[in-house]
Protein backbone atom coordinates (compact mmCIF):
# COMPACT_ATOMS: atom_id res chain seq x y z
CA UNK A 1 0.00 0.00 0.00
CA UNK A 2 1.52 3.32 -1.08
CA UNK A 3 0.69 6.32 1.06
CA UNK A 4 2.14 9.72 0.36
CA UNK A 5 3.50 11.95 3.08
CA UNK A 6 4.96 15.40 2.59
CA UNK A 7 7.73 16.07 5.05
CA UNK A 8 8.98 19.57 5.28
CA UNK A 9 10.04 22.16 5.33
CA UNK A 10 12.98 21.19 7.46
CA UNK A 11 14.82 24.15 8.92
CA UNK A 12 18.43 23.15 9.49
CA UNK A 13 21.48 24.74 11.00
CA UNK A 14 24.90 23.22 11.25
CA UNK A 15 28.60 23.37 11.82
CA UNK A 16 30.98 22.87 8.91
CA UNK A 17 33.51 20.06 9.45
CA UNK A 18 36.33 18.54 7.41
CA UNK A 19 38.04 20.03 4.37
CA UNK A 20 36.15 23.35 4.48
CA UNK A 21 36.12 23.94 8.26
CA UNK A 22 38.91 26.54 8.13
CA UNK A 23 37.02 28.77 5.68
CA UNK A 24 33.41 28.17 6.84
CA UNK A 25 31.93 27.62 10.26
CA UNK A 26 28.12 27.82 10.17
CA UNK A 27 25.45 26.99 7.63
CA UNK A 28 21.68 27.32 7.38
CA UNK A 29 19.26 25.65 5.05
CA UNK A 30 15.77 24.60 4.19
CA UNK A 31 14.88 21.13 2.88
CA UNK A 32 11.74 19.68 1.33
CA UNK A 33 10.85 15.99 1.24
CA UNK A 34 8.04 13.95 -0.28
CA UNK A 35 7.84 10.33 0.87
CA UNK A 36 5.71 7.35 -0.09
CA UNK A 37 5.24 4.49 2.35
CA UNK A 38 6.16 1.16 0.80
CA UNK A 39 5.51 -0.63 4.10
CA UNK A 40 4.91 0.24 7.75
CA UNK A 41 8.67 0.37 8.29
CA UNK A 42 10.01 1.94 5.07
CA UNK A 43 9.39 5.20 3.20
CA UNK A 44 10.97 6.11 -0.15
CA UNK A 45 10.95 9.60 -1.57
CA UNK A 46 12.52 12.63 -3.17
CA UNK A 47 14.28 15.61 -1.64
CA UNK A 48 15.52 19.05 -2.56
CA UNK A 49 16.35 22.24 -0.72
CA UNK A 50 18.82 25.06 -0.31
CA UNK A 51 21.94 25.31 1.87
CA UNK A 52 24.19 28.33 2.53
CA UNK A 53 27.50 28.14 4.41
CA UNK A 54 28.81 31.48 5.64
CA UNK A 55 32.36 32.40 4.68
CA UNK A 56 34.85 33.38 7.37
CA UNK A 57 37.57 36.01 7.54
CA UNK A 58 41.06 34.68 8.14
CA UNK A 59 44.28 36.46 8.94
CA UNK A 60 47.46 34.66 7.93
CA UNK A 61 50.69 35.95 9.44
CA UNK A 62 54.12 34.84 8.36
CA UNK A 63 57.49 36.55 8.46
CA UNK A 64 56.04 39.77 9.91
CA UNK A 65 53.47 40.09 7.11
CA UNK A 66 49.74 39.65 7.74
CA UNK A 67 47.19 39.03 4.99
CA UNK A 68 43.45 39.04 5.62
CA UNK A 69 41.26 36.83 3.43
CA UNK A 70 37.46 36.69 3.35
CA UNK A 71 35.74 33.64 1.88
CA UNK A 72 32.48 34.07 -0.05
CA UNK A 73 29.42 32.10 1.04
CA UNK A 74 29.05 28.68 -0.55
CA UNK A 75 25.59 27.54 -1.67
CA UNK A 76 24.04 24.28 -2.85
CA UNK A 77 20.69 22.99 -4.07
CA UNK A 78 20.65 19.25 -3.36
CA UNK A 79 18.39 16.99 -5.42
CA UNK A 80 18.11 13.32 -4.60
CA UNK A 81 16.36 10.19 -3.47
CA UNK A 82 15.48 9.57 0.14
CA UNK A 83 14.82 6.52 2.31
CA UNK A 84 13.57 6.36 5.90
CA UNK A 85 13.37 3.25 8.08
CA UNK A 86 11.14 3.15 11.19
CA UNK A 87 12.43 0.38 13.52
CA UNK A 88 10.22 1.61 16.42
CA UNK A 89 7.43 4.09 16.89
CA UNK A 90 8.78 7.64 17.15
CA UNK A 91 12.30 6.90 15.87
CA UNK A 92 13.66 6.74 12.32
CA UNK A 93 16.93 6.60 10.45
CA UNK A 94 17.83 6.78 6.81
CA UNK A 95 19.53 8.93 4.27
CA UNK A 96 19.50 10.91 1.07
CA UNK A 97 21.69 10.49 -1.99
CA UNK A 98 21.92 12.47 -5.21
CA UNK A 99 23.63 15.52 -6.66
CA UNK A 100 24.12 18.96 -5.08
CA UNK A 101 24.07 21.77 -7.63
CA UNK A 102 26.59 24.50 -6.82
CA UNK A 103 25.02 27.95 -7.06
CA UNK A 104 27.77 30.42 -6.24
CA UNK A 105 30.54 31.32 -8.69
CA UNK A 106 33.23 28.63 -8.99
CA UNK A 107 31.12 26.00 -7.19
CA UNK A 108 30.71 22.94 -9.42
CA UNK A 109 28.60 21.00 -6.91
CA UNK A 110 29.08 17.26 -6.56
CA UNK A 111 27.85 13.91 -5.29
CA UNK A 112 25.53 14.47 -2.33
CA UNK A 113 24.81 12.15 0.58
CA UNK A 114 23.19 12.71 3.95
CA UNK A 115 22.65 10.01 6.60
CA UNK A 116 20.16 11.05 9.30
CA UNK A 117 18.43 10.11 12.57
CA UNK A 118 15.04 11.47 13.66
CA UNK A 119 12.85 11.52 16.77
CA UNK A 120 9.13 12.35 16.53
CA UNK A 121 7.82 15.25 18.61
CA UNK A 122 4.30 16.53 19.32
CA UNK A 123 2.55 13.23 18.65
CA UNK A 124 4.19 12.76 15.26
CA UNK A 125 3.38 16.16 13.73
CA UNK A 126 7.00 17.31 13.92
CA UNK A 127 10.47 15.83 14.21
CA UNK A 128 13.88 16.71 15.58
CA UNK A 129 16.67 15.27 13.46
CA UNK A 130 20.43 15.19 13.25
CA UNK A 131 22.30 14.50 10.05
CA UNK A 132 25.63 14.71 8.31
CA UNK A 133 25.58 16.44 4.92
CA UNK A 134 28.43 15.85 2.47
CA UNK A 135 29.04 17.15 -1.04
CA UNK A 136 32.03 15.46 -2.68
CA UNK A 137 33.93 16.49 -5.76
CA UNK A 138 37.75 16.56 -5.46
CA UNK A 139 37.34 17.56 -1.80
CA UNK A 140 34.38 17.07 0.53
CA UNK A 141 32.21 19.81 1.95
CA UNK A 142 30.82 18.34 5.19
CA UNK A 143 28.48 19.62 7.87
CA UNK A 144 26.84 18.23 10.99
CA UNK A 145 23.24 19.48 11.04
CA UNK A 146 20.42 19.80 13.54
CA UNK A 147 16.94 20.24 12.06
CA UNK A 148 13.30 20.69 12.95
CA UNK A 149 10.83 19.09 10.54
CA UNK A 150 7.12 19.80 10.11
CA UNK A 151 4.91 16.99 8.79
CA UNK A 152 2.05 17.79 6.42
Tens place of pLDDT for every residue, the chain, 152 residues? 445 555 555 778 999 999 999 899 999 999 999 999 999 999 999 999 999 999 998 887 888 888 888 999 999 999 999 999 999 988 999 999 999 999 999 999 999 999 999 999 987 788 899 999 999 998 999 999 999 988 77
Total domain count for the chain? Answer: 1
Nearest to 31 by CA among 7, 53, 4, 9: 9
CA–CA separation, 100 and 55 (whole Å): 19
Bridge partners, 66 (sequence order):
61
Q: Which domain holds residue 95?
A: 3-151
Q: CATH number, domain at 93? A: 2.40.160.20
Who's near 143: CB < 8 A, 6+ residues apart? Answer: 14, 15, 16, 17, 27, 51, 53, 132, 133, 134
CA–CA separation, 33 and 74 (whole Å): 22
Amino acid sequence: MWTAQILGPVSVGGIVVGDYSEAYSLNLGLDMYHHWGVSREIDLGLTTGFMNAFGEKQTISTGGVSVETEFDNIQFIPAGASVRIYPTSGFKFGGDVGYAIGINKGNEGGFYYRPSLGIDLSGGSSELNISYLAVSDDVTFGSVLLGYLFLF
